[in-house]
Amino acid sequence: MPKDGWEFWRLVRVDDGSLEWLAGTRPNARATIDQHKVWTLIPNRSIFVANWIVTEDHHRDSGFRWTHENIDIDDARKVALAVPEIGVDELQRISKPESELTLDQVDRYSAQKVLGKRVADALSNRRFETRE
């Protein structure tokens, strides 16, 4: 059973096997679009954002950009701390959908709500440490 309605995915690049995203889906959400969406963790902002690029890849029949490995909440909490930071340009790109989602469907959830306070605090500390 998903944790609070969430299923988690470790996304590694098909071409080189490097970790790129921690993703979450909500297969039992009330709205059909929310059952379809994939949110990805933006660690330097401590949020999960509906990501149209990953959503499109998740529902493809072939030609995947990432390998989508279903993981449990404990693994998701560990992966969250290893996800690479993303820049402003990449955040803008995933927030301005070209397909799969409309702009008003690009919503977000706090990392604390999805993964818990301990992970959110660790992400905050990581952000603080990279500024020094």
Question: DSSP states of 34-63 as a string?
Answer: HHH--EEEETTTTEEEE-HHHHHHHT-SS-
| SS3 of residue 24 by DSSP | strand
In this prediction, what percent of the chain has a pLDDT beyond 90? 83
Nearby residues of 92 by Cβ (< 8 Å), 6 or more positions away: none
Q: How far apart are CA 43 and CA 102, in angstroms?
A: 23
Checking if the pLDDT of 131 tops 80, the result is no
Judge contact between 56 and 100, C-beta under 8 A: yes
Decide: pTM greater than 0.85. yes
Model confidence band, residue 4 (pLDDT cutoffs 50, 70, 90): confident
* pLDDT for position 99: 87
pLDDT for the residue numbered 128: 60
Task: Give me the pLDDT at residue 1, please.
Answer: 39
Average of per-residue pLDDT across 10-22: 97
Give CA angle at 123 (121, 11), nearest 5°. Answer: 135
At 14, is the pLDDT very low, low, confident or very high (cuts 50, 70, 90)?
Answer: very high
Summarize the confidence of residues 29-34 as an average pLDDT: 94
Percent of residues, the chain, with pLDDT higher than 70: 93
Question: In this predicted model, what pLDDT tens digit does every residue of 51-98 receive, in sequence order?
Answer: 999 999 999 999 999 999 999 999 999 999 999 999 999 999 998 888
Over residues 6-28, the mean pLDDT reads 97
